[in-house]
Amino acid sequence: MLDHRSIASSIVTPRMANGIHMPGSLRATGAFGPTSFATPKMSSPFMIPSAAEGAKSEYDLMYYLKGALAGGICCGVTHGAMTPVDVVKTRMQLSPLEYTGIGQGFKKVIAEEGAGALLTGFAPTAFGYFIQGWFKFGGVEFFKTQAAEKLGPQAGWDNRTLIYLSSAAVAEFIADIFLCPLEATRIRLVSDPSYATSMPGAMSKMVAESGVIGAFYAGFGPILFKQVPYTMTKFAVQGAAAEAIYNGLGTKPEAMSGSANIGISLGSGVIAGVAAAIISHPADTLLSKINKKGAGGSGGIVSRLANIAKETGFVKLATQGLAARCVMIGTLTAGQFGIFDSVMGALGTTKFHFHDPSAEHH
């Protein structure tokens, strides 16, 4: 937990000690535009609050719990909503000769199994990514503020990309420990809809057949190779893209309307999502295939992964289902950042943003 006195002194002081002017009547730029507060309790989402803005630091245990909850909601909602696209994408990866495109895949699933089949795996998807989002977004906020506190304002700004990358990597590793069993269950249900009628039923059957490790963590390596680069790219690219858009417009977030800021967040989220999807797709294909019954032979996990990679080839690993995944990830990443900021605002706080202390001197 961050001590409010230490973070105030190391990140910002009340009166431009590090180039950040904090007026007596605080103006916070939120999702619905500028708002004035006579008694400031939270800062602009694009500034870092000082101890002078309240008796209690914003970056305490309650802040991290709010960030974790917002992360769980944004990931659970967006991944759950994209379940139909994910079903088709997974089928394209597992049976590329039968499912040759997004449109054709949708038509084939509906024609052969009914429209309800597009929601196969919804429960493990929504629940699994709620848990993952809890640790991912909450973890990124925790590690990001910890790094900023230790480095100080200017060094934090100068090293913001490295902070994004390292914070995302550690947070995602922790999140994947909890996500992997639910992702394995989802893939099993999508690849074999008749396997079980519910998520608990599928999980129980998988454990009975393969044991806990074999059932739920056969794909832990691929999920790390998929999710860690994906999350690192997502946070770093979104931050850089948003910064580039603001610079291109010759303005700053605090000078924009609430709707304009949301628009920039959504646009930069799409860019980040597509970039993250491309980088992590080979591992995503491996993850889909390793959880298909009998895939890669009967050897150990490493042997099975090697067999799958050899049989499939790198080009197919990198391209099978990529278009569907870019659509899915681009959309949900944009949605995640928008929902996260909205939920944080509804909970009475705003996420930590890096700010250039030297900018106010120019």
Separation of alpha carbons 52 and 13, rounded Å:
8
pLDDT tens-digit profile of 117-130? 899 888 888 998 89
- Topology of domain 4-9+59-353, CATH: Mitochondrial carrier fold (1.50.40)
pLDDT over threshold 90, residue 314: no
Q: What's the confidence (pLDDT) of residue 9?
A: 40
**Residue that wins the pLDDT comparison between 194 and 62:** 62
Q: What letter would DSSP give residue 15?
A: B
List, for residues 183-238, the tens digit of each pLDDT value: 888 888 887 888 888 888 999 999 999 899 888 998 788 788 888 999 999 999 99
Show the tokens assigned to 249. 């417009």
Q: What is the mean pLDDT of residues 347-358?
A: 82
Q: What is the mean pLDDT of residues 345-358?
A: 82
* Closest to 300 (Cα-Cα) out of 227, 189, 204, 217: 217
Q: Report residue 105: phi and psi, to 5°.
A: -65, -45
Q: Whole-model pTM?
A: 0.71
**Domain locations along the chain:** 4-9+59-353
pLDDT in tens, 27-36: 334 444 444 3
Residues with Cβ within 8 Å of 305's Cβ and at least 6 positions away in sequence, in order, are 221, 222, 286, 290, 296
Place of tokens 């870019």: 326
pLDDT at 12: 42
% of the chain beyond a pLDDT of 70:
81
CA gap 81, 105 in Å, rounded: 18
Q: Can you say whether residue 43 is alpha, beta or left, with left for phi > 0 and alpha for psi between -120 and 50 degrees? A: beta
Q: What share of the chain is helix, strand, coil (3-state, %, to 5)?
A: 70, 5, 25
| Residue 54 clears pLDDT 60, i.e. is over it | no
Model pLDDT, residue 169: 96
Q: Mean of the per-residue pLDDT values for the chain?
A: 80
